[in-house]
Amino acid sequence: MDLFYSAASPYARKIRILMREFGVSVNEVLTDTKENDPAFIASNPLGKVPSLVLDSGEMLFDSQVIASYLDDTFNESKWSPASLSQKTLLAATQGVLDEAVTMILEKRRPESLRFDYWIERYRLAIPRTVAWIWQQHQPALQEMSLASITFACGLDYCDFRHEDVDWDRELPEARAWLKEFTNRPSFTETSPH
Ligand SMILES: N[C@@H](CCC(=O)N[C@@H](CS)C(=O)NCC(=O)O)C(=O)O
């Protein structure tokens, strides 16, 4: 299998963590999405990482599809959401990634094209969502799951990219959880850089 990834992408990191946790051997292809390498574009016409090419030649994207394929195939679907509440939790954790990545794109625009309105909106929405996740689902986050892994990747990504997003200001317990939860090789080997 070939996994196209970039070193900073929290979406790709989720998949690299799952590969390590499930002991799946994969050829990780470091990709600069801007270069539009033909093999990469053939794996995902959207030009986004992660994308996975199976040994059969089948192509899988995006990260949610790949994560659920890996969990179904190598982990008896144990980490996938079953109830509506678990599905909503996973959507909220994925939403934190989406907002944090969109926010960095907005911050990187030339100043004359940058909308502070959107940056401010994400800067508020991320800690609000983190607090909601923590308050509503803290017990579930103690276990490994697609949601808890996605949540940890989102928080680490916020620390990596957004020093102005103080998601832990009123949640020191969540900060302590992140430190403990990510203290394993699958996380330390895939830290964003
Ligand atoms: N919904 C997608 C989002 C993937 C995504 O946005 N990846 C970013 C990197 S963090 C990317 O490849 N961006 C390059 C581009 O859009 O050109 C997923 O869950 O995999």
pLDDT at site 40: 98
- Ligand 1 pocket residue status of 63, Cβ below 6 Å: yes
Domains of the chain: 2-74 (3.40.30.10), 84-188 (1.20.1050.10)
| pLDDT on residue 91 | 98
The pLDDT value given to residue 5:
98
- Mean pLDDT split into 10-residue runs, the chain, 193 residues: 98 98 98 97 98 98 98 98 98 98 97 96 98 98 98 98 96 98 98 95
Query: In ligand 1, which atom is closest to the CA atom of 10?
Result: 10
Does the C-beta of 13 come closer than 6 Å to ligand 1?
Answer: no
Bridge partners (DSSP) listed for residue 52: 3, 60
CA 155 → CA 27, 35, 115, 126, distances in Å? Answer: 26, 28, 23, 9
What is the Cα–Cα distance from 191 to 4, expressed in whole angstroms? 16
Tell me what pLDDT residue 186 has: 98
- Distance from residue 102's CA to the centre of ligand 1 (Å): 10
pLDDT of residue 159: 98
Q: Is this prediction's pTM over 0.85?
A: yes
Do the Cβ atoms of 7 and 192 come closer than 8 Å? Answer: yes
Neighbours of 37 (CB within 10 A): 15
Phi first, then psi, for residue 54 (nearest 5°) are -75, 165
Distance CA 151, CA 33 (A): 24
